[in-house]
């Protein structure tokens, strides 16, 4: 992430039309929509103050979360405007939610961290995934599998191997098997 780039994590209930409402309210100029494809996330893009900032809403369909990337010299001011205008979360709030008691909040937070992290090998994220991989709730385990697939970090291989040896759930077994195969195929095992 560059000095003039900001990542804003949206609350799980926030959706693209809310970002659009903020853009209209504050006079941001709509630039374009990038449609979803297999290797391309859906995006809506606006410019702020000419080209002083670019706001990109990204719907990461791989892990099922939305977030915003803001770049340009006015990124700080634009981030403050966005945060004041809709329900967003700081990284600290997302980490806290990933450790909370609510399974839906935890799963969403784990997926959000996977989509927005700039350091997939961080010890904190590793510890979070390590604990979540063995959670009793299958939706937490699924979110963890999706997160590790999204980040594709060699550091996560030991977690994936352990989960592969333990997973008995008929819905999650194909997910972990596919993840193991992908890690092996793309050389992420060492």
Summarize pLDDT for 26-55 with one digit per residue, the tens. Answer: 999 999 999 998 778 999 999 999 989 999
Q: Distance (Å, rounded) from C-alpha 50 to C-alpha 28?
A: 9
Residue 100's pLDDT is 87
Q: Where are the domains of the chain?
A: 5-89, 91-185
Average pLDDT (146-174) is 95
How is domain 91-185 classified at the CATH fold level? Answer: 1.25.10
Q: Which residue has the higher pLDDT, 62 or 164?
A: 164
Average pLDDT (76-101) is 92
User: What class has domain 5-89?
Assistant: alpha beta
Residue 11's pLDDT is 85
What residues contact residue 26 under an 8 Å CB cut-off, 6+ apart?
Answer: 48, 81, 85
When pLDDT is cut at 50, 70 and 90, the band that residue 2 belongs to is: low
For residue 61 the two structure tokens come to 């369909």
Residue 67's pLDDT is 94
Same fold, 5-89 and 91-185: no
Q: Helix %, strand %, coil % for the chain, to 5?
A: 50, 20, 30
């Amino acid at each position: 992430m560059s000095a003039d780039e900001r990542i804003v994590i949206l609350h799980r209930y926030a959706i693209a039309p809310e970002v659009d409402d903020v853009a209209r309210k504050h006079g941001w100029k709509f630039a374009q929509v990038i449609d979803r494809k297999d290797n391309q996330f859906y995006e809506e893009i606006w410019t702020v103050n000419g080209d002083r900032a670019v706001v990109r809403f990204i719907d990461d369909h791989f892990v099922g979360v939305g977030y915003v990337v803001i770049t340009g010299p006015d990124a700080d001011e634009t981030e403050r405007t966005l945060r004041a205008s809709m329900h967003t979360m700081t990284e600290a709030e997302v980490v806290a939610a990933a450790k909370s008691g609510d399974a839906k909040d935890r799963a969403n937070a784990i997926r959000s961290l996977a989509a927005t992290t700039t350091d997939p090998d961080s010890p904190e994220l590793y510890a979070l995934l390590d604990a979540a991989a063995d959670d009793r709730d299958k939706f937490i385990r699924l979110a963890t599998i999706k997160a590790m697939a999204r980040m594709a970090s060699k550091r996560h291989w030991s977690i994936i191997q352990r989960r592969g040896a333990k997973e008995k759930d008929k819905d999650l077994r194909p997910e972990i098997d596919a993840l193991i195969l992908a890690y092996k195929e793309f050389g992420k095992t060492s």
